[in-house]
């Protein structure tokens, strides 16, 4: 049986990674926009982004637009690959369950 990546498997982190994977490879999203898309509190999103960043799955860039601080979030190549492997593992798990039901 294929093991699911525990970093991605947590529901909130799965939602974060899935949302970021919809962006083209080099695109970033601002923290408030990601928070709005996911409907998460700033604190909750921060905790999950930190875990994903520690795993090397997301890049968090703090910068300024004029005098306004901006936090940009992007899925890294490692994160994109981990998400692809995760989705393949889920598909395999579902196919295995489906095969057991039809036999």
SS3 at position 25: coil
Contact between 32 and 69 (Cβ < 8 Å): no
Could you please state the CATH topology (level 3) that the domain comprising 6-96 is classified under: Arc Repressor Mutant, subunit A (1.10.10)
- Mean pLDDT for the chain? 94
How does pLDDT run across 41-56, given as a tens digit for each residue? 999 999 999 999 999 9
Residue 1 has pLDDT above 70, yes or no: no
**Domain regions of the chain by residue span:** 6-96
For tokens 């095969």, name the residue.
Answer: 99
How does pLDDT run across 69-97, given as a tens digit for each residue? 999 999 999 999 999 999 999 999 888 87
């Amino acid at each position: 049986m294929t093991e699911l990546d525990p970093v991605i498997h947590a529901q909130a982190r799965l939602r974060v990674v899935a949302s970021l994977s919809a962006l083209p490879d080099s695109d970033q999203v601002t923290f408030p926009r990601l928070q709005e898309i996911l409907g998460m509190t700033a604190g909750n999103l921060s905790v999950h982004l930190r875990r994903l960043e520690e795993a090397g799955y997301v890049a968090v860039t703090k910068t300024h637009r004029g005098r306004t601080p901006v936090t940009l979030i992007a899925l890294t190549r490692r994160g994109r690959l981990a998400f692809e492997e995760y989705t393949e593992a889920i598909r395999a798990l579902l196919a295995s369950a489906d095969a057991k039901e039809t036999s």
